[in-house]
Structure 1
Amino acid sequence: MVEIEKSSSSMGQFIQFESLERVEVRCLRNDEWVHKVLKILNTCGVSPDKITIQHYIYIINMKQALRFSNRSVAENSQSMATGGNSLPSPSCADDKKRRVCYYYDPGIAHIKFSDDHVMVPARVAMAHSLVGVYGMLGDMRRLRTRPATEAEIRRFHSPEYVDLLRDLTPESYANDAALRQKAEHDHGIGLLGGDDDCPAFDRLWKYCRGYAGGSLAAARALVDGASDIAINWSGGMHHACAGKASGFCYVNDIVLAINELLDSFRRVIYVDIDAHHGDGVQNAFLDSNRVMTLSFHRYGKIALRKDFFPGSGAINEVGVGAGEHYSVNVPLDAGVRDDGYHTLFKPIVGKAMEVFQPEAIVLQCGADSLSGDRLGGMELSVRGHAECVSFLRGFNLPLLLVGGGGYTINHVASTWCYETAVAVGKERELPDDIEIPRHGYEMLYKNQGNKLHYQTSTATARKKSSNMEVTKGKVLEHLSQIELAPSVQFQERRGNNAAGVDAGGDLYYERAPSLEDDEPAQRLHRLCFPGLTKRIKLS
């Protein structure tokens, strides 16, 4: 083994996982395949002294991905042309392929809330690496879009709050007492009462615009009919309110994406499987009968008589005005496992789909409901969590998948990788015993035995089945009070957009990034892939 110290600033930004001090990389400089890639880089103007650890890790990612993929680039192109670039899913009776698009910004690996914060955005980079190493990138169209604009973010968030997000820096927060007071007391950012859930960190505005732009582009891909399923694992920030940050969430990309969908779809259902109640999304559409919010979450008192965050999501929170009955909450006790969870999930979601008749689905796949999460206290397995994706995929409606919570980062990455496999219909290729290959992050999966499907806790579920039946009965009764889906008059603008151009004129499919802004891994992708499949013969 060759140990590469965390010495350079670029690598220090890239390896930001809890208390990790060094990363082991397998004799990369002696790998013949790596040498071939480095030669290509050199001919493209990347000198040896500019090669960073990101390049080496990405090279191994691509090597593994090419070995795992059974289809050539030509076969992938042909499958896209025939109406779906994924495989038929075992979970769907119609035996149809789904056209899947996927958003990933390499810059998210460099975002850091603080040294010891439980929210680690680099978990998305870990999930992306697994998606690549298991050969799924060729099954999806890659979304590359501009960040969300101020105008787009202001469509939900208040002008004062957007101005603060845009201008706030760690330095201005530390040095400007008036600004600090405003950030903490008016907008929930900073240290308030010992709570640093939403700190003022470096590149905050860029981070918010990035993940929000991804969700907006994903929504547009569904609106234009260019994709059947759109994925943005960096999104899912469901706690953010119009004028306030909350629960590690600053910009509510879900609300922005749903508003985008509502311009073309009459009704949208939002399903939330995060351990925490999706309060920000529910409140945004509390009086609307065009959006049904359906949240499955832990609820009740925890230690010291404190409510489990955010404290909302009781079964009797049902919406107001025209939106009465369109807010649906399924409160759960800690410790719920797969069987109990799906005793509720499938009949309730099935009934909601029947009475509401949505035209599009948004699923927030918060991974803190997994067994072993640092905050969630629930006991779902990777497969049990992903079964929610399978179930909703089976309705054959436009489906937007976003991330959310999840604070044991290796578990998060494993789950979002497997749920990507569900989206593209390759879940059978990732069985229970599949190991995590070498790809640069493999050392972070040691505590789960280097298995994608890790062992769940053996703790006994605390919620009795009789209580679950009571909850199910109440929610189903609530849903039965909903009148048949409301009709809506509006100007429809849906239609195929073969060019993949959004309303602002941005190409949102596979475009070359600017030379000044792209990250090392993104630069390597641009220079060498998919050309690698044509120029390099693997051993």
Structure 2
Amino acid sequence: MSKRRVAYYFDPDVGAYTYGLGHPMKPHRIRVTHDLVAAYDMLPKMHVLRPKRASPEDISAFHTDEYVHFLTRVTPETAEELTYHGTRFLVGDDNPGFEGLFEFCSISAGGSICAAQRISSGAADIAINWAGGLHHAKKREASGFCYVNDIVLGILELLRSYPRVLYIDIDCHHGDGVEEAFYTTDRVMTCSFHKFGEYFPGTGTQEDKGRGKGKGYAINVPLKDGITDESYKSVFEPVIAKILDVFQPSAVVLQCGADSLAGDKLGCFNVTMKGHAHCVQFLRQQNIPLILLGGGGYTVKNVAKTWTFETACALGIEDEIDFSLPWNEYFEWFAPRYRLEVLGNNMDDLNTKDNSLDRVRVTALEQLHDLIHAPSVQMHDVPRETVGHHLGLVKDEEGWDELDERLARKLHTILHLLFYF
């Protein structure tokens, strides 16, 4: 298999944060993944980098200043008190104001921004940030365990250099935050494969297609419980192949949420490790600049095994992997089999029982058939801060005074950006 230059972003502090006792999101899974990647001796085969942490100003490229300011100040003690015009930024018990929250967000977001910069500079063909992929975060509020939308920030960075970016989401949950951010532009196509029907966040029907210039550029593939590798592949490959043909993206961002794996504590699919990784393999074969991000995943040992295997897929060495786990610091966690595998179970595949998968596939392909082939853009010189503005992503009117000051300070940062609206 042909070689790719792979950049791998990891901050050793990321595993030290906790959402609280009993919370299903475990940042420590990133540390377990890294230890397993190291045990398989993959680190020397990649450019391993500690990302620069995202600053409040970096995060304000998408999120509102008020919300970012809140995140920098919130603690477990002040979470209830810190409000803006009576509105809570942390919605529900899913999104606690844990100790070190902003530092955790800055690591996640910094990794995705740095990955995008690495890809844009041409220094890497594939960039990995398993601490990223927090796709539910909204412009001014936390949602679904996600506080800062590192994906949107990374895509904004890509848009400084590339005319079109494709975002693909294989998390069990709909990638609502990313879709919402780019809902009105044809420069970013979002495609989400997710469980739909009485399931968080409750969005992502095939009627949700985008709006304005973005109409048709939000693709949703709603699925039912128990989908298997074979069923998943039967819809993933034709839809993504058609997208690549019609949209012709300059770069691809793949959110590899691992709660779509069989046996996940919050998931309801029946996809194995190899079935999940097939999505990475399929995209790697396309020879398009690729960013791999984490996301959901709540059975920690399965998350770590799958992201480790997908790191091997990025390197093109998956055929060399010994599925008997090497010794590592967390070896006992992988009892009783001690193997690099996530197996399927005996769930019924509801997607094939009623032939709904065929209808979903046909509907998605028909939507793509109606699109303009490779929407064109024009070349402009644009400062970094204006990318999100022209896409309609940043700042309400009350935020423009501060933004204008930042623009004035950084007008010397002029980059070529393909741009048209």
TM-score by length of 2: 0.88
Aligned: 1:460 with 2:362: no
Q: CA deviation at 1:145?
A: 2.8
The correspondence of residues 426-465 of structure 1 with structure 2, limited to 5 A, is 426-430=317-321, 434-447=323-336, 449-464=337-352
Q: Which residue of the partner structure matches residue 29 of structure 2?
A: 123
Q: Which residue of the partner structure matches residue 242 of structure 2?
A: 351
Q: Which residue of the partner structure matches residue 375 of structure 2?
A: 486
Give the secondary structure class of the aligned counterpart of 1:415: helix
Q: Which moved more, 1:464-473 or 1:378-387?
A: 464-473
Q: Which residue of the partner structure matches residue 394 of structure 2?
A: none
Query: 1:47-86 CA distances to partner (integer Å, 9 max, x unpaired)?
Result: xxxxxxxxxxxxxxxxxxxxxxxxxxxxxxxxxxxxxxxx
- Please tell me whether the aligned partners of residues 348 and 475 of structure 1 are also in contact (alpha carbons under 8 angstroms): yes
Give the secondary structure class of the aligned counterpart of 1:247: coil
Structure 1 Cα separation of the partners of residues 134 and 381 of structure 2: 28
Aligned residue among 217, 223, 226 for 1:332: 223
Aligned: 1:318 with 2:203: no
Instruction: Summarize the Cα distance change of 1:336–1:284 in structure 2 as closer, same or farther, 3 Å threshold.
Output: same
Q: Which residue of the partner structure matches residue 228 of structure 1?
A: 125
Q: Which residue of the partner structure matches residue 291 of structure 2?
A: 400
Q: Which residue of the partner structure matches residue 63 of structure 1?
A: none
Q: Which residue of the partner structure matches residue 365 of structure 2?
A: 476
- Please tell me whether the aligned partners of residues 264 and 492 of structure 1 are also in contact (alpha carbons under 8 angstroms): no
Structure 1 Cα separation of the partners of residues 335 and 171 of structure 2: 25
Instruction: Summarize the Cα distance change of 1:145–1:477 in structure 2 as closer, same or farther, 3 Å threshold.
Output: same
Q: Which residue of the partner structure matches residue 188 of structure 1?
A: 90
Structure 1 Cα separation of the partners of residues 16 and 379 of structure 2: 42
- Please tell me whether the aligned partners of residues 90 and 97 of structure 2 are also in contact (alpha carbons under 8 angstroms): no
Seq. identity, %: 45
Q: CA deviation at 1:454?
A: 3.2
Q: CA deviation at 1:167?
A: 0.7
Unmatched segments (≥5 aa) in structure 2: 383-409, 411-421
Give the secondary structure class of the aligned counterpart of 1:274: coil
Report the residue type matching 1:159 in the other structure. D
Aligned residue among 73, 76, 90 for 1:167: 73
Structure 1 Cα separation of the partners of residues 243 and 356 of structure 2: 21
Structure 1 Cα separation of the partners of residues 192 and 208 of structure 2: 11
- Please tell me whether the aligned partners of residues 5 and 125 of structure 2 are also in contact (alpha carbons under 8 angstroms): yes
- Please tell me whether the aligned partners of residues 263 and 492 of structure 1 are also in contact (alpha carbons under 8 angstroms): no
Larger radius of gyration: 1
Aligned: 1:273 with 2:273: no
Q: CA deviation at 1:460?
A: 2.2
Structure 1 Cα separation of the partners of residues 224 and 304 of structure 2: 25
Give the secondary structure class of the aligned counterpart of 1:490: strand
Equivalenced residue count is: 382
Aligned residue among 411, 424, 448 for 2:302: 411
Structure 1 Cα separation of the partners of residues 88 and 188 of structure 2: 28
Give the secondary structure class of the aligned counterpart of 1:170: coil
Q: CA deviation at 1:170?
A: 1.3
Q: CA deviation at 1:275?
A: 0.1
Q: Which residue of the partner structure matches residue 242 of structure 1?
A: 139
Structure 2 Cα separation of the partners of residues 220 and 173 of structure 1: 33
Structure 1 Cα separation of the partners of residues 55 and 79 of structure 2: 23
Structure 2 Cα separation of the partners of residues 469 and 143 of structure 1: 43
Q: CA deviation at 1:259?
A: 0.3
Query: 1:300-347 CA distances to partner (integer Å, 9 max, x unpaired)?
Result: 1xxxxxx20000000110000000000000000011010000100000
Q: CA deviation at 1:456?
A: 2.0
The correspondence of residues 48-59 of structure 1 with structure 2, limited to 5 A, is none
Structure 2 Cα separation of the partners of residues 285 and 455 of structure 1: 35
- Please tell me whether the aligned partners of residues 131 and 294 of structure 2 are also in contact (alpha carbons under 8 angstroms): yes
- Please tell me whether the aligned partners of residues 294 and 327 of structure 1 are also in contact (alpha carbons under 8 angstroms): yes
Q: Which residue of the partner structure matches residue 100 of structure 1?
A: 6
- Please tell me whether the aligned partners of residues 254 and 291 of structure 2 are also in contact (alpha carbons under 8 angstroms): yes
Structure 2 Cα separation of the partners of residues 124 and 246 of structure 1: 20
Unmatched segments (≥5 aa) in structure 1: 1-87, 89-95, 301-306, 494-502, 504-539
The correspondence of residues 249-264 of structure 1 with structure 2, limited to 5 A, is 249-264=146-161
Q: CA deviation at 1:458?
A: 2.0
Q: CA deviation at 1:492?
A: 7.4
Q: Which residue of the partner structure matches residue 33 of structure 1?
A: none
